Amino acid sequence: MSTDRSELVTPELADPIGSKARVPLTVYLGRMRGSPRMVSQQRRLSAVPLTFAGTFIGIYLISIPALFPSWPLSTKLFLVGSFGASAVLLFAAPRAEFAQPRNAVAGQVIAAAVGVTAYKLLGADIGLAAAVGVATAVCVMQVTRTLHPPAGATALIAILGPAQVHRLGYDYVLTPILIGMLILIVITLIVNNLSPDENRHYPATWW
């Protein structure tokens, strides 16, 4: 007995976009449901001591010059908030793409340069400078494949200050940003690779 092919066509095939496409708001809101929580391997308790050690050493080394005002670098090498966020990636999620050297170093440098430029051009309107600076930094990092989320804060710090940062101008890109990130990368290489756990080995790729 012959079968009408139209009877075999499922509603999904008849409407390849799906019935939900007829209610865009439902589809849109459905995207916000998320998915079951994934437990990161970095939550292993055995990883905590190395995470603490690496973060402590890296952040403390960057802060040392500021403790000695007579040192030539004391006014240039100091902690900025985005270093703390970078440390989270480098020591707690070292295999993440955003934590790799290309992203961590180049992303921070790009964001710093963009932030300083935005302040110099639009500093009379801090709100506009901040919006343009951060948005541009994110886009440039996307185009150059150097996305590093903490770098958004680096661009913003260049615009908001403090005055010590504003006085540095483009020197802010070299120090504290570039030198500070290189210190963090070196400590990450030394500390993370002490672990036999491959999930902590760093880097996953250099470039």
One pLDDT digit (tens) per residue for the chain, 207 residues: 555 544 554 444 445 445 545 668 888 788 788 777 655 554 577 789 999 999 999 999 999 988 888 877 777 888 999 999 999 999 999 999 999 999 999 999 999 999 999 999 999 999 999 999 999 999 999 999 999 999 999 999 999 999 999 999 999 999 999 999 999 999 999 999 998 888 889 999 998
In this structure, how many other beta carbons lie within 10 angstroms of the beta carbon of residue 193? 14
Q: Are 134 and 177 in contact (CB under 8 A)?
A: no
Is 84 a domain residue?
A: yes
Number of domain units in the chain: 1
In a domain, 35, yes or no: no
Query: 């990883």: which residue's tokens?
Result: 47
Q: Is residue 15 part of a domain?
A: no
| pLDDT confidence of residue 37 | 66
Task: Answer yes or no: is 22 within a domain.
Answer: no
Compute φ and ψ for 47, nearest 5 degrees.
-85, -15
Q: What distance in Å separates the CA atoms of residue 106 and residue 47, rounded to the nearest whole number?
A: 27
Per the domain annotation, does 27 fall within a domain? Answer: no
Is 117 part of a structural domain of the chain?
yes
Could you give the count of Cα atoms lying within 13 Å of 120 in the half-sphere of its Cβ?
A: 12
Report d(CA 108, CA 113) in Å as an integer. 9
Q: Count Cα neighbours of 110 within 13 Å in the Cβ-side half-sphere.
A: 25
Quote the pLDDT of residue 52.
96
Report yes or no on 4 lying in a domain.
no
111: in domain: yes
- Of 97, 67, 94, which Cα lies nearest the Cα of 192? 94
Domain hosting 54: range is: 45-200
Say if residues 119 and 159 touch (Cβ distance below 8 Å).
yes
Task: Give alpha helix (H) positions in 67-160.
Answer: 81-92, 101, 107-122, 126-143, 151-160
Give the pLDDT score at 12.
47
